[in-house]
Amino acid sequence: MDQLLQQFINGLSIGSVYALMAVGYSLVYSIMNFSNFAHGGIIMLGSYFGFFLLTLFKLPFSAAFLGAALGASVLAVLVERIAYKPLRMRNAPFLYFIISAMGASMFIENFVIATIGPTFRTYPAVFSRSPFQVGPLFVGRLDTMIFVTSAVCLLLLVYFIDHTKMGKAIRATAFNARAAALMGINTDMIVILVFAIGGLLAGIAGVLFGMKYTVYPQMGAITIKSFIAAVFGGLGSIPGAVLGSLVLGVVETLVSGYFSSQFRDLISFSLLIVILVFRPIGLMGKPAEEKA
């Protein structure tokens, strides 16, 4: 039982990082109905921003953390302006958006390899590595910080979406963009806001993931897991993205702890296939006709 609880705690840590990533996917999908595969590149750049602000510019952690999040937010908006807005203006098919997203993702990754290099980099030790002990259980200080930070960010996002004027505009645009525009909502500004929020969360997730593991140009591929989590919870649903991420993080940790880490990805993709076959809308997703 103690080992099971320990694995559960470890799974919540990585699941909370998945949640920050998956929410970005869900926000963009709710507005534009396509999966932003360039999101992984933003997460990777956010991780690099935090690393260089800490090591090269010697900023305190709080300033580096905020700078990485804001930098990733600005880059996410730039990607939307360059890669997606021209397609939106021409009412291009959604397949074109997916192709553009994949191209943007490959460009970002190869640009980093060509300029910074493919070397793996490790964040300096910001927090003590000695864990908290609660009875027979050990809780890492970094894992605690990751979980608390993710929880605070997601709670603030939910409050913003549910209780602010801009949040209600996002919900209206997600429900029916054309009707929202007819009611006077600037849908172009809503798209910018959604990408800015998604980029902000991506930067935070990149720093947290980089601190827990390492920083490297291909780390954006980890967003495949957040995509699985978003599909599992229901694309377009923020609570679903959070729930799916936490479940995926716990399941992967249990599989790695009780069987082998080699089965972790196998189980993740098997879970995706099962969801797509038996409940394509995810645990908390809504049928497309309910949004019409």
- Let me know if residue 274 belongs to a domain: no
Q: Taking Cα atoms as reference points, which of 254, 269, 292, 277 lies closest to residue 15?
A: 254
Residues whose CB is less than 8 angstroms from the CB of residue 143 and which lie 6 or more positions away in sequence, other chains included: 9, 10, 13, 212
- Let me know if residue 268 belongs to a domain: no
- Let me know if residue 292 belongs to a domain: no
What is the tens place of the pLDDT at every residue in 257-280? 888 888 888 888 898 888 888 888
Q: Which domain holds residue 40?
A: 11-114+137-221
What is the tens place of the pLDDT at every residue in 169-204? 999 998 899 999 999 999 999 999 999 999 999 999
Kindly indicate the confidence band of residue 290, based on its pLDDT and cuts at 50, 70 and 90. very low
- Let me know if residue 2 belongs to a domain: no
- Let me know if residue 18 belongs to a domain: yes
pLDDT top residue among 288 and 16: 16
Q: What percent of the chain has pLDDT above 90?
A: 59
**What pLDDT shows up at residue 225?**
87
Q: What is the pTM of this model?
A: 0.91
Residues whose CB is less than 8 angstroms from the CB of residue 261 and which lie 6 or more positions away in sequence, other chains included: 255
**What pLDDT shows up at residue 276?**
84
**What pLDDT shows up at residue 5?**
85
| Burial class of residue 154, CB neighbours in 10 A (0-12, 13-18, 19+) | buried
- Let me know if residue 150 belongs to a domain: yes
Residues whose CB is less than 8 angstroms from the CB of residue 163 and which lie 6 or more positions away in sequence, other chains included: none
**What pLDDT shows up at residue 289?**
46
What is the tens place of the pLDDT at every residue in 222-253? 888 888 888 888 877 888 899 999 999 999 99
- Let me know if residue 71 belongs to a domain: yes
Kindly indicate the confidence band of residue 29, based on its pLDDT and cuts at 50, 70 and 90. confident
In this prediction, residues 67-71 reach a mean pLDDT of 97
Q: Please count the structural domains in the chain.
A: 1
What is the tens place of the pLDDT at every residue in 195-230? 999 999 999 999 999 999 999 999 988 888 888 888
Q: Which residue has the tokens 């291009």?
A: 92
Mean pLDDT is lowest, of 88-102, 151-165, 258-272, for 258-272
Query: Is residue 291 scored above 50 in pLDDT?
Result: no
SS3 string, the chain, reads CHHHHHHHHHHHHHHHHHHHHHHHHHHHHHHHCCCCCCHHHHHHHHHHHHHHHHHCCCCCHHHHHHHHHHHHHHHHHHHHHHHHHHHHHCCCCHHHHHHHHHHHHHHHHHHHHHHCCCCCECCCCCCCCCCEEECCEEECHHHHHHHHHHHHHHHHHHHHHHHCHHHHHHHHHHHCHHHHHHCCCCHHHHHHHHHHHHHHHHHHHHHHHHHHCCECHHHHHHHHHHHHHHHHHCCCCHHHHHHHHHHHHHHHHHHHHHCCHHHHHHHHHHHHHHHHHHCCCCCCCCCHHHHC
Q: How many residues does the chain have?
A: 292
- Let me know if residue 272 belongs to a domain: no
**What pLDDT shows up at residue 287?**
61
Can you tell me the distance from the alpha carbon of 92 to that of 86, in angstroms, rounded to the nearest whole number? Answer: 9
Q: What is the mean pLDDT of the chain?
A: 89
Query: Is residue 89 scored above 50 in pLDDT?
Result: yes
